Amino acid sequence: MFNTLLVDDERLARAELRRLLSPYPQISIQAEASTAEQALELMQQQAFDLVFLDIQMPGLSGLQLAPQLQPHCHFVFCTAFEHYALDAFELNALDYLLKPVAPERLERTIQKLEQQHSSGQQQSYLPEQHGILLKFGEISRIKRLNEIQRFESIGNHTAVYCEDGKSFLHSSLSKVEMRLNPQQFFKVSRSDIVRIDAISQIEPGLAAGTLIVVLKDGSAVEVSRRQVQQLKQLFNAWG
């Protein structure tokens, strides 16, 4: 069952989407919002697995709302404008539907949702005590995952930072991310993943709307604008 939120400033558009989704018992529509701001308030009250959202709305747009959705929440853009598709998929949207939404096109979206959910359930994260063989100069050491503070994308390789210094994995950051438990690691930008309990403080970034995380070893890592809200939510236990 996917707890679902519909976000669209047009009531008739929400009603039509609700009708199109009615044949799918696995889609449980829990709430509707007419603005992105209202959607954010609803997300503070309950968790959603799936969000259908319009792009052009009063106030925050759907593209601005997407980075602020709850972690691991699937989202689908429903819009009358096809030229936003590239931006949508850069935000890792599950799908991009053009209005009026065709039932057969929506069916493919639901199939994609179930496939991603199934593969995610089968994905096994590495345990904190998992050992990784890393080379520091001429010496090779086994470092446990909970000793690693940061992963950084360097071309087709990944730099690994721990108390012994910097080493490299012959693997892309995206492949590394697939095996990291999101309860322990947070992707602060496209090129950096940090261990959550290695963050000692959060400071304003140089550019407006950005942040910098300072790790326990004193290193500073910039947080992308798209990840700022999720980072704040990560340390906001009381909503």
Separation in Å, CA 6 to CA 9, 59, 89: 10, 17, 19
- For residues 60-74, give the mean pLDDT: 85
**Distance separating alpha carbons of residues 157 and 186, to the nearest angstrom:** 19
Distances (CA, A) of 153 to 34, 65, 108, 157: 39, 26, 33, 6
| Crossing angle of the two packed helices 103-122 and 11-21, in degrees rounded to 10 | 70
Phi then psi dihedrals of residue 138, to 5 deg: -95, 0
Tokens representing 216? 């326990």
Report pLDDT digits (tens) over 150-167: 999 998 899 999 999 999
pLDDT tens track for 16-66: 999 999 999 999 999 999 999 999 999 888 889 999 999 999 999 998 888
Q: Are 109 and 97 in contact (CB under 8 A)?
A: yes
Q: Would the pTM of this model clear 0.75, i.e. be above it?
A: no
Reported as a single tens digit per residue, the pLDDT across 94-138 is 999 999 999 999 999 999 999 887 765 545 678 888 888 899 999
Q: Which two tokens stand for residue 29?
A: 């529509």
